[in-house]
Amino acid sequence: MSRELIGYIENSKELLQEALHQSLQKLLIPEQLKQSMLYSINAGGKRLRPILLMASYDAYANNNKKVLSSCLAVEMIHTYSLIHDDLPAMDNDDYRRGKPTNHKVFDESTAILAGDALLTYSFEIIAEDPLLNDTQKVEIIRLLSACGGPTGMVGGQILDMEAEKKSATLEELERIHTLKTGELIRFAIYTGAYLANASKEQLNYLTDFAYYLGLIFQVQDDILDVTGDEKKLGKRVGSDQENEKSTYPKLLGIGGAMKQKEIYVEKAKNALEKANAEDSYLMALTDYFSNRDY
């Protein structure tokens, strides 16, 4: 990974961390609720979605202050989904990113409500942003709700749960991940370029790019669950196999999964070129997420 890309990611993460913390800290809400929301937001993570959103804007324009509210919103929605996913009734995970999950630190009811609060607040953040006009706000909110709701991420989570009970085909697997992970990535990529006034054609190619990037991300996730380092990942490996979960390595073998990832990488880069974004950080980020070890 180039030193430039490392700097870009580190700077973005720092900026995001500060903005995320501030946007929750300033809320006049019950302390227990605030602490629970802050706990999961501050737990770190890759900040994949907001960094992609920034990089997508930076591919077409300068001065990306306009994207900050969308970055916060998508990270809050991602975070709420993790809190609910970890609940005993869902995946029943005690650790996330190497730290106890929200419901282990607080309690289940607080975790449920903290998730609900982050989800609801994400829309307020966009609606209140003084840097966006009303048309932009509506377009972003429309896409965020479509990508985060029943036609998007939540739909993917239901399918993912159902798939645990049977063995899925490669096609079904792609559909699950496209909804569960891919739709918020699509939101991020689209919104950044949209706010940078990318053309309709460019936005279409970026939608293709986002589709493949989401799959790359997921294949690598599956691969790391087999070959990854628990310390770097901050979570147990091998849990997919234990849960008899349908994964790329299970369907294709590790070699086959790696090969499939390379196919997606090529298609993603191809789409980026067509979107005239071949010199942007999106290109380097594609390799970065394809080869990440955490």
C-alpha 87, offset from chain centre: 19
The one segment of 43-51, 153-161, 216-224, 254-262 that binds its own copies by CB under 8 A: 153-161
- Residues within window 68-87 making contact with its own copies, judged by CB under 8 A: 80-81, 84, 87
Nearer to its own copies, 162 or 279 (CB): 162
The torsion angle over the Cα atoms of residues 282, 285, 286 and 288, rounded to 10 degrees, is 170
Alpha-carbon distance 177 to 264, whole Å? 14
The one segment of 1-9, 10-18, 150-158, 269-277 that binds its own copies by CB under 8 A: 150-158
| Residue of 172, 180, 178 lying closest to 210 (CA atoms) | 178
> Does 130 sit near its own copies (CB under 8 A)?
no
Q: Which of 161, 253, 273, 293 binds its own copies (CB under 8 A)?
A: 161
* Side-chain half-sphere exposure of 47, counting CA atoms within 13 A: 26
The one segment of 51-59, 122-130, 191-199, 218-226 that binds its own copies by CB under 8 A: 122-130
The one segment of 54-62, 139-147, 236-244, 285-293 that binds its own copies by CB under 8 A: 139-147
Nearer to its own copies, 14 or 108 (CB): 108
- Closest contact distance (angstroms) between CB of 85 and its own copies is 9
The one segment of 31-39, 216-224, 243-251, 281-289 that binds its own copies by CB under 8 A: 31-39
Nearer to its own copies, 52 or 176 (CB): 176
CA distances from 156 to 163, 214, 268 (A): 10, 13, 22
Alpha-carbon distance 282 to 54, whole Å? 10
Q: Do 51 and 13 meet the contact criterion of CB atoms below 8 Å apart?
A: yes
Burial of residue 28 (CB within 10 Å: 0-12, 13-18, 19+) is exposed
Burial of residue 230 (CB within 10 Å: 0-12, 13-18, 19+) is exposed
**Backbone phi, then psi, for 267, in 5-degree steps?**
-65, -40
- Closest contact distance (angstroms) between CB of 251 and its own copies is 21
List residues near its own copies by CB under 8 A.
27-30, 32-34, 37, 80-81, 84, 87-90, 107-110, 112-113, 115-117, 119-121, 123-124, 127-128, 134-135, 137-138, 141-142, 144-146, 148-151, 154-155, 157-159, 161-162
